[in-house]
Chain A
Amino acid sequence: MASDTPIVLIGDRAEVAPRPRGATAKLRPGRFALTVAALFTFAFLYVPIAVLIAFSFNSARTGATWQGFTLQWYERMLSNPRLIDAAANSLIVAALSTLGSVVIGTLMAIAMERYRFRAQAVWDGLLYMPVIVPEIVMGISLLLFFASIGLERGLITLIISHIAFSMPFVYLTMRARLADFDRSLEEAAQDLGADEWTTFRRVTFPLLLPGIISSALLAFTLSLDDFVTSFFVAGVGSQTLPVYIWGQIRRGITPEINAISTVMLILSIVLVILSQALQRRQSSH
């Protein structure tokens, strides 16, 4: 999430200590190899995505040949009621599960930061354990759980499941924010006559807000992109967008799927950029 920081650091270092000319000349073969490796890495990461995006604008119905630019797949995507339903489901699930995981995750983070109790490290570990539980295990266990308590698969099960896997990310983000929080600010508020609730409302919450928003954006993105868990817990009429796409792909990849994927990709990127921008704004405070 903070992948931009090291790059900035390397840039700074290069400015502080410019490499002498002689050294640059000597290192040239090594530099060439590194450049090639870097280009290869970026190609490896982004060429498939670029192809996907390109083909969403290709007027050819099938095949991998370019036959001209078109927006018809996007038009068709928007006039597909089942796809629109799936997208609406995705947005509802993402919104409600984000709300749930942000409230629970933030309150848990505050509680764990403020109070000291027995075996705290164990409880702390259990709270972010879901981050490393394989998603397929998570999906199966939730499916079994819902079946055993007789809860029918649908939007409710989707929302509960999405809260379960995104809450730990909110918790981790908020713990980090709270660790930097200056408690004397709360003391100052109380000293100036604010009771506990007013202190929270006027000081603690506004200062935590950028962290809360950035973790909410993260939770929203995770929910929107989730396939594995959703695949297990979605009901027949409550498919989310990724589950719908998967269903369509079984009948072959169409340019329409490329168009949907492109939209999802852009949405995710925007959310992540927003989240990072907020984090950076807070740390510059």
Chain B
Amino acid sequence: MVLRIKSFAQGQPLSALSADTSICGGRGLSEFAVELRDVTKVFGEVVAVDHVSMGIRQGEFFAMLGPSGCGKTTSLRMIAGFERPTSGEVYIDGKPMGSTPPFRRDVNTVFQSYALFPHMTVEQNVGFGLEMKGVPRAEINRRVKEALELVRLPQMAKRYPRQMSGGQQQRVALARALVNRPKVLLLDEPLGALDAKLRKEMQIELKALQREVGITFVFVTHDQEEALSMSDRIAVFSKGKVLQIGTPLEIYERPNCRFVADFIGETNFIEGKVKQIDGEFAVLESDGRCFVGRAGEGLRVGAQASLSVRPEKAQLVEQPMNSANCYEVRVHSVAYVGSDTRVIVMLGDQHFDIWEQNSLSTLDPNYFFGPGERAWLVFRPENALILAE
């Protein structure tokens, strides 16, 4: 598998990057709020983070997304200063962090467990960071009040964390971090402990909050929907490596490898050999059928590859069409789920998912195909992506 990091291809010389920063550094502000350059972290025998390079822009809502154990949390902890890179360097606002301890870094963290001090009131928790900085008492009081208003908990100042619900504790944790006006706010699966409904609310609220305060947010999550809906850009992690960095649109519509296509959203894969590459498009031969799709990076004629088609980007039709990517299939099962109808068809001996939006309001049970019926599967070449193995 050829993996490319979109912003910084691995082959790109580091000097090019440092040139970038020095230009911006001249204006007193680095382009990147946080930058990881070739960072590796090894725990004993385990390589938790493997030569990761990425730049998080000022004011960006940046998600680090991946399954558990992919290195996203370790990367966050290296930015916070709780772990030191085995090799490579973390830059915050253009400055190399080296062995700078967490208490001297201009970043604040919202912990997965919230980590609110149980022996302090909400007010004391939120004021802790300012107190450490030696801010005068009157200003601490004023800013704590503001921060609690920001997270809509002004009446809770005198409570102890244990007297609050999970959602409220989570807002206190946010206020405690934001009140310090850090360069970067680090969030470690902050919504993980909340129930589904509260989670949705907090997603919207968190995004709005980020726009309001304008602070760079670095958000670790394993929930791809959360990452897609909230982030400006996403870094997809797997096994310690960053596979792709891009906007939600880029990540979903143009995944650069099979893992990203599979991990983000749902997709159908058709495996085969690359038969032909013609500019932007390529032809894949699979089981005697030929499919046309966009050519992914690193494709070679004759090599193994997978064609990826999202279920919502394929259609079923009653008659064969004179176009590319149209093959006869047998309907296997049909599930009506309200907003759309999810059909599984058999393409040869392979399952293929198709989601048809129910854009027509009808009570006709025969409106859609039924199990066992013959149909034709069709999808446009622009909607398919051929990815190298």
Contacts and interface: CB of A to CB of B under 8 A. Distances in A.
A285 B118 contact: yes
Interface stretch (B108-116, B137-145, B304-312): B108-116
B233 interface: no
B176 interface: yes
Contact of B103 (A185, A195, A202): A195
A92 B117 CA distance: 36
A190 B115 CA distance: 12
B176 A192 contact: yes
B169 to A, nearest CB: 12
Nearest to B162: A285
B292 interface: no
B133 A190 contact: no
B370 interface: no
A198 B180 CA distance: 18
Interface string B91-103: 0000000000111
Contact of A190 (B101, B113, B116, B180): B101
A190 B103 contact: yes
A187 interface: yes
A49 B128 CA distance: 52
Interface string B233-246: 00000000000000
Greatest chain B CB density within 10 A among A182, A191, A202, A207 is at A191
A182 B132 contact: no
B111 A187 contact: yes
Interface residues of B, number: 25
B111 A193 contact: no
A101 B142 CA distance: 45
Contacts of A206: 119
A285 B161 CA distance: 10
Given A184-B111, A198-B132, A285-B162, A191 B102 contact: yes
Nearest to A199: B103
Interface in B64-101: 80-82, 101
Nearest to A192: B129
Nearest to B186: A191
Interface in A184-227: 184-185, 187-195, 198, 202-203, 206-207
A185 B117 contact: yes
Nearest to A207: B119
A193 B132 contact: yes
Interface string A164-189: 00000000000000000010110111
Contacts of A189: 117, 128
Q: Could you say which interface size class chain A belongs to?
A: 10 to 19
B102 A187 contact: yes
Contact of A188 (B101, B109, B180): B109
Contacts of A188: 109, 111, 115-117
Contacts of A191: 80, 82, 102-103, 107-109, 177
Interface in B163-200: 176-177, 180
A117 to B, nearest CB: 15
A207 B161 CA distance: 14
Interface string B219-255: 0000000000000000000000000000000000000
Contacts of B176: 192
A246 B177 CA distance: 62
A193 B117 contact: no
Contacts of B118: 185, 207, 285
Contacts of B180: 192-193
A187 B83 CA distance: 11
Contacts of A184: 111-113, 115
Contacts of B80: 187, 191
A194 B111 contact: no
Contacts of B101: 190, 195
A194 B180 CA distance: 13
Given A187-B82, A285-B162, A193 B115 contact: no
Nearest to B126: A192
A203 B176 CA distance: 15
A190 B117 contact: no
Contacts of B108: 191-192
A132 B129 CA distance: 46
Nearest to B160: A285
Interface in A93-134: none
Contacts of A192: 103, 108, 128-129, 132, 176, 180
B26 to A, nearest CB: 29
A196 to B, nearest CB: 8
Nearest to B107: A191
A29 B172 CA distance: 59
Interface of B: 80-82, 101-103, 107-109, 111-113, 115-119, 128-129, 132-133, 162, 176-177, 180
Interface of A: 182, 184-185, 187-195, 198, 202-203, 206-207, 285
22 contacts: A182-B113, A184-B111, A184-B113, A184-B115, A188-B109, A190-B102, A191-B80, A191-B82, A191-B107, A191-B108, A191-B109, A191-B177, A192-B108, A192-B128, A192-B176, A193-B103, A193-B129, A195-B101, A203-B117, A206-B119, A207-B119, A285-B162
6 A-B pairs closest in CB distance = A193-B132, A192-B129, A188-B115, A184-B115, A190-B102, A191-B109
Given A185-B118, A193-B132, 20 more contacts: A182-B113, A184-B111, A184-B112, A184-B113, A184-B115, A187-B111, A188-B115, A188-B116, A189-B128, A191-B80, A191-B82, A191-B102, A191-B108, A191-B109, A192-B103, A192-B132, A192-B176, A193-B133, A194-B103, A203-B117
